[in-house]
Amino acid sequence: MKIVLVVNSMGGPGGAERVAAVLSAAWAQRNHTVTLVPTYSKHGGCFFPIDEKVRMIYLADRVKHSPLRRINYIARLTELRKLFVEEKPDVIVSFLTNVNINVILASRGLHIPVVACEHNDPVADGRPLLWKLL
């Protein structure tokens, strides 16, 4: 099975980072093809160890930075969709609200199942109305 995990970053000690590291290692050890995609960080250290069988693709390395925030957002979504088309995963697992929304938007119409992991109540965490609706 080909599995793509998408997370904000892997540089911190957060719960999503830990779960992504543990799940990716477990699936890789079961001989699944696993790709881990941090979306908002460039190459750097990972707080939690990443199994050597897990392939890392840093989305930020694939996107040219623009001083315009909206252009960056669209570029990231476009590049994330390209990545999904290239990788042809059997399933995408994403972590955290912003990443979940981006993964769902980027994968629309590709017929790839998405597992969106949410560990808080996005309606109650002070986000703007648009994010709550999404």
The whole-number average pLDDT for the span 37-63 is 88
Nearest to 93 by CA among 108, 79, 104: 104
| Per-residue pLDDT tens over the stretch 84-128 | 999 999 999 999 888 999 999 999 999 999 999 987 766 676 777
Domains and CATH numbers, the chain: 2-133 (3.40.50.2000)
Nearest to 39 by CA among 105, 90, 91, 88: 105
What burial class does residue 88 get, using C-beta atoms within 10 Å of its C-beta: 0-12 exposed, 13-18 middle, 19+ buried? exposed
123-127 LR contacts (CB < 8 Å, sep 24+): 125/97, 127/97
| Per-residue pLDDT tens over the stretch 51-94 | 999 999 999 888 887 777 788 889 999 999 999 999 999 999 99
Does the pTM surpass 0.85? The reply is yes
